[in-house]
Amino acid sequence: MAQTYLLKGDVARPGRIEVEKGTTLRQIVEELGGGMANGKAFKAMQIGGPSGGLVTADELDLPLDFKALAPWGCRRGDGVITVLDEDRCMVDVTYSFLRATQADFCGKCVSCREGTKRMAELMGSLVECKADDAAVGMMLELGEVVHMTAFCSLGKGCASTMNVAASAFADDFQNHIEGNCPLCKQETRLPIAPGDGVPYDRKRIVIDPEKCKGCSRCARSCHAEAISGELKSPFHIDPEKCVKCYTCIELCAFGAIEEVTIDG
């Protein structure tokens, strides 16, 4: 069964795409996305939104299968796939995704609430070339702490993009530590904007009663206690409690849970 994603970033044909099971990341870029824009080379792909993961050219022949992509922290998340070309500075990209994560958390767990804030502050200093190796090391350690202690997938995945970027694109980070990033100097485009562009308060996670089997897996996994219902009957999500971490969407084996855009 095909799944819908929003493909954005530095591809020739950004937009909504239907991805069949077994489709590789390379096919998503070259076939569904029409290849890289302006003839530039591929650098990385961010999958799953702010708390998703980052893959490099070495992983392009892997399928869009989240078990296969788990080592890179990839998850379905908000269903957004962002392609980045060779001229994107990964420090700047990582900062954009960290700020988006920090803005979306629910604030329930202290490690995520305070940890993402401090990580974003440290990354902001690095963007401005005011951070050293020790600051980068502290940022990575904070990411590990938040990953281990956060309640939901949003918090657990907040450092995934940063970890891969710092390892796979160490030169970008070193350039900022040394105060001289050639990619940032030549960049004239707007920064990469994480997410699908829909305001947070216009998003809602809903359960289709026709598809829901009443297994309760979503309710048992919801740290916000936003899902209720009775076994073998359709469950319901309270929009006032839901923090839109997408964990329930990823866990539902029946495709009964989806994100919708509401009016207003």
User: For 57-91, how does the pLDDT look when each residue is reduced to its tens digit (9 = 90+)?
Assistant: 999 999 999 999 999 999 998 899 999 999 999 99
Spatial distance between the Cα atoms of 242 and 166, rounded to a whole number of angstroms:
32
CATH number 1.20.1440.230 is the correct assignment for the domain at 90-186 = yes
pLDDT of residue 173 exceeding 70: yes
CA dist 115 to 96, 136, 148, Å? Answer: 16, 14, 12
Domain positions in the chain? 3-85, 90-186, 200-261
pLDDT of residue 107: 74
Reply yes or no on whether the pLDDT at 264 is more than 70. no
Q: What are phi and psi of 224, to 5 degrees?
A: -85, -5
Tell me what pLDDT residue 201 has.
82
Q: What is the pTM of this model?
A: 0.89
User: Per-residue pLDDT tens for 119-166?
Assistant: 999 999 999 999 999 999 999 999 999 999 988 888 889 899 999 999
Q: Where are the alpha helices (DSSP H) in 11-132?
A: 25-27, 90-104, 110-127
pLDDT at position 105 over 60: yes
Whole-angstrom Cα distance, residue 222 to residue 246?
10
CA distance linking residue 95 with residue 161, whole number of Å = 10
User: Comparing C-alpha atoms, which of 222, 241, 226, 203 is closest to residue 152?
Assistant: 222
pLDDT tens digits for range 194-240: 888 888 888 899 999 999 999 999 999 998 899 999 999 999 999 99
H/E stretch holding 228: strand 227-228
Q: What percent of the chain has pLDDT over 90?
A: 75
Count of alpha carbons within 13 angstroms of residue 154, beta-carbon side? 26
Confidence of residue 172 (pLDDT cuts 50, 70, 90): very high
Higher pLDDT, 14 or 264: 14
Topology at the third CATH level for domain 3-85: Ubiquitin-like (UB roll) (3.10.20)
In sequence order, the 6+-apart residues with CB closer than 8 A to the CB of 88 are 10, 43, 44, 183, 187, 192
Q: How high is the pLDDT of residue 199?
A: 82
Alpha helices in the chain (DSSP H): 25-27, 90-104, 110-127, 133-149, 153-156, 160-168, 170-178, 182-186, 217-221, 247-251
- Mean pLDDT along residues 182-186: 95
3-state class (DSSP) for residue 242: coil
pLDDT at 50: 84
Give domain 200-261's CATH number out of 3.30.70.20, 3.40.190.170, 3.30.70.1230, 3.40.640.10.
3.30.70.20
Q: Give the pLDDT score at 100.
A: 87
Q: Which among 9-23, 99-113, 142-156 has the top mean pLDDT?
A: 9-23
When pLDDT is cut at 50, 70 and 90, the band that residue 2 belongs to is confident
To the nearest whole number, what is the mean pLDDT of the chain?
93
